[in-house]
Copies of this chain bind each other. A is one copy, B any other.
């Protein structure tokens, strides 16, 4: 522990919603805060699918972590990769630098999608967690239309114009709706040999309905709105195989497709395993009521990495408002510990759920008030603009949305080569890449110099 008069050290690993909320809630506390992230930017993940579908620029939904915390004099930011947490020694071990000792720890490295043991699907069906993921998905979507334009063989051309989104949660619903809009609205006049509006978009969900955590009436509304946009919804059918030619569903049927996207499953950051704490099936840390690691009152786990239960035993959902509340709560318990007060248990304040489907189409469940369509979409718009970090980003996004809404265009239809970007998925989810030697980033690659 720190000596008398010296500031206690709080290390926060991960600068997502939970980690940044914890850091900000400590701005007046007599502590030295160190925020570690392997990326230099905080990402507004709820809008990541808009980068993947060419509506927004990466910089519109990302803010440099340093910039967010520049005025917080008790905080410093380290760009680095955390290799392990040594709880007994109270040390965060970096892959590429000196170890960071701490008096308090806030672990908030989040989660990624899970391929349910089918790790070979990762390169075939990329998921959406980082800017690199989003650019890779954008590249695949736009390239599929380009290749279809050049393809003369009708069956191949159809497969190129068929898109499959696996997983009917919010991410899958948003992606499927946006792809259908791109094909039917944005690209209509750009090609000479294909009709982009003939593209087929499938949304496949193993559960009996889309948005399975929502109430049934909203699931039905979401499905209706998806179908109005031209999305073909297949529920109650798991995907049993994915290969380069398409997907096989649980009922034995095949969808020939060259572009499969993944929006299913949850796998916690592998850092959780280095804690030696109890984990749930998805690898999340089963935290105590005060969000600490059982037996370690100085170490908190928050955000998607934490398996937190509500009073009634239901899990706290993996949403941005939950992450913000948990991050703030961990900070509060740190402040209480500094003041010699006992920690308080966490109470989740359910602010409702919102999912957007497309232009003027969304569903909302705000404390039992359920609505869909234009009103839900406007609510979604307002909430997302309001919470978008950084004033400039907010203005840029509003203008781009207004422009896209009026003209049906998408401003960011760039194909840039993000070769091997899928390895980031692998990296984040602990999935071994098929050619590990070639693709695995070296330890600390995020800050290592390029080879000379």
- A residues engaging B (CB < 8 A)? 39-41, 57-60, 62, 64, 66-67, 70-71, 76-80, 97, 123-124, 131-132, 135, 140, 142-143, 146-147, 149-150, 189-193, 243-244, 258, 392-393, 395-396, 399-400, 403, 407, 409, 411-422, 424, 438, 441, 445-447, 449-452
Q: Which residues of B contact A76 (CB under 8 A)?
A: 192-193
Known A192-B76, A403-B392: A58·B409 in contact at CB below 8 Å? no
Closest to A40 in B: B415
Q: Are B392 and A79 in contact (CB under 8 A)?
A: no
Are the CB atoms of B58 and A416 closer together than 8 Å?
yes
Query: Is the CB–CB distance between B411 and A396 below 8 Å?
Result: yes
Q: Which residues of B contact A131 (CB under 8 A)?
A: 414, 416
Q: List 30 A-B contacts (CB under 8 A).
A: A39-B415, A40-B413, A40-B414, A57-B57, A57-B58, A57-B412, A58-B414, A66-B191, A70-B190, A76-B192, A76-B193, A77-B149, A77-B190, A78-B150, A79-B149, A79-B150, A80-B150, A123-B450, A124-B452, A132-B416, A132-B417, A147-B449, A392-B409, A395-B399, A395-B403, A417-B421, A417-B424, A417-B445, A417-B446, A418-B418
A411 touches B190 (CB 8 A): no
The residue in chain B whose Cβ has the minimal distance to the Cβ of A450 is B123
B452→A41 contact, CB < 8 A: no
Residue of A124, A414, A452 with highest tally of chain B CB at under 10 A = A414
Distance, CA A403 to CA B394, complexed state (A): 12
Q: Please, how many angstroms separate the alpha-carbon atoms of A407 and B392 in the complex?
A: 10
Is the CB–CB distance between A146 and B79 below 8 Å? Answer: yes
Contact of A62 with B450 in the complex, beta carbons under 8 Å: no
Chain B positions within 8 Å of A67 at CB level? 190, 409, 413
Cα distance A190–B72 in the bound complex, in angstroms: 10
Q: Which residues of B contact A415 (CB under 8 A)?
A: 39-41, 79, 446
CB distance from A222 to the nearest CB of B (A): 30
Which listed residue, B147, B393, B447, touches A143 by the CB 8 Å rule?
B447
